[in-house]
Amino acid sequence: MAINPANTEQLDVENIDGNTMKLRSGAIIPRITKEAADRRALLTRSILAKLHLSPVGEPVAFDLSEDGSVMFYFDSSRVTETPAELWYNTTERTANRETVTLESGNEIERMGTRRAASYGFYTKRRLDEMNYDVVEEPVAYNIAKDGSTVYFYDKKTAIRRPLKCIVCGKDVRYKRKMCRACFERDLLRRREDGDAYRAQPRGMSRERVLFFDLELTGVYTHDEIISVSITNGRGDILMDTLVRPLRKKKWTKTEKIHGITPAMVENSPTLDELVPTIKELFANADNIIAFGVSTDYSHIKYIYETEAEQEALHKKVRCCANEFVRFQSEHYPDNNHASLIDAMACLGISWDGIPHSSIADTIACMKVWEALFPNYYID
């Protein structure tokens, strides 16, 4: 089994360059001489087999035989005893044991396809179907019905070929299962679609679009709202208040994030006291927008008692973070962080007021939204 030119061409150039080889796991192993292998007490597969041992894990070095096939060296301290049924030392096995000697001098045993597969040995064709290239000489063989010899190779030492682009099928994958050229064509198309979608005139009134942000005692359903900020599309502050929770007395974890302490909310209104105002604001809004709206929605929806009312609110809700993620994937595909701060940096938006105060976040969200949808409002 020589590495003929055609075979080498299929390999990633990284994989084997004469002096090093990259294994499937990503490990790079050196080519060493027989003398060096002896000094390090490294063993070949055939020596291990004679000792009734099997390697544990990957080879640690390799050498090329004269015929170009790869001989792997294994760490002699990382071996396991081969199960007795593989020793061929039962009378029957010994009697029936059939072997052939390869050009390298290594002897390999005949075995059935099923038994071979149980050791992870497959034919070259099967490994090719699994997207692997064979570089080592065969580790076993069988005789097919037509009398021809079928060789089995160890999947552990085969090299996985880079996957091909799902669009052109020619080049190696780069992103989104596509090659670089196909990815870039796809990116341009998605960007055009996205830009057209964002540029659509929506005819919204700045008074009837609300932005909001909640601070919570925690992220779970049983957690309570301790701050509500609401602005409209003009940046008018319609509500910006701390809220006194009814059940929770402390929230040490989230306190570090939003800085709201139990003492600060002692004299604040309860949510129940604010509900009529919030309901009125929401009733007069066409869209209600937050950055990462799902958490906010899952808490604010409880100001409504019926599912129908909650569903009506859900229909008005929009997520600024989702829209930013889409924009970013179309314009800055190498960026993958999408916090409010990332969105502001990406779109060149500065803070009004103290960052991470509820109202500053709300106004930042309003600005991010307008940067994403420049024709959102009529006024």
Helix ranges (DSSP H) in the chain: 5-10, 34-39, 45-50, 91-96, 113-118, 124-129, 180-199, 252-258, 271-283, 293-300, 307-316, 320-331, 340-347, 358-372
Q: Enter the DSSP assignment of 182.
A: H
Out of 37, 43, 71, 179, the residue judged to bind Zn ion by CB under 5 A? 179
Based on the shown chain and the rule CB under 5 A, indicate whether residue 23 belongs to the binding site for Zn ion: no
Say how far apart CA 296 and CA 284 lie, in whole Å.
Answer: 19
Shortest CB 131 distance to Zn ion, Å: 17
Q: Which region among 148-156, 161-169, 203-211, 281-289 touches Zn ion (by CB under 5 A)?
A: 161-169
Nearer to Zn ion, 167 or 325 (CB): 167
Based on the shown chain and the rule CB under 5 A, indicate whether residue 165 belongs to the binding site for Zn ion: yes
Based on the shown chain and the rule CB under 5 A, indicate whether residue 172 belongs to the binding site for Zn ion: no
Out of 11, 43, 182, 290, the residue judged to bind Zn ion by CB under 5 A? 182
Q: Which region among 127-135, 168-176, 188-196, 338-346 touches Zn ion (by CB under 5 A)?
A: 168-176
Task: Give strand pairing partners of 106.
Answer: none
Based on the shown chain and the rule CB under 5 A, indicate whether residue 167 belongs to the binding site for Zn ion: yes
CA angle 241, 245, 251 (to 5 degrees): 100
CB atoms within 10 A of CB 334: 6
Nearer to Zn ion, 32 or 165 (CB): 165
Q: Hey, is 5 helix, strand or coil?
A: helix
Based on the shown chain and the rule CB under 5 A, indicate whether residue 349 belongs to the binding site for Zn ion: no
Based on the shown chain and the rule CB under 5 A, indicate whether residue 42 belongs to the binding site for Zn ion: no
* Rg from Cα positions in the chain: 33
Q: Which region among 20-28, 106-114, 165-173, 228-236 touches Zn ion (by CB under 5 A)?
A: 165-173
Residues 65-94 that bind Zn ion (CB under 5 A): none
Nearer to Zn ion, 42 or 179 (CB): 179
All residues at 6 or more sequence positions from 174 whose CB lies less than 8 Å from its CB, including other chains = 165, 180, 183
Based on the shown chain and the rule CB under 5 A, indicate whether residue 159 belongs to the binding site for Zn ion: no
Q: Describe the chain by its helix, strand, coil percentages, rounded to 5.
A: 40, 25, 40
Based on the shown chain and the rule CB under 5 A, indicate whether residue 363 belongs to the binding site for Zn ion: no
Q: Which region among 1-9, 24-32, 166-174, 298-306 touches Zn ion (by CB under 5 A)?
A: 166-174
Q: From residue 195, how far is each of 159, 191, 259 by CA, in Å?
A: 42, 6, 38
Contact footprint for Zn ion (CB under 5 A): 165, 167-168, 171, 179, 182
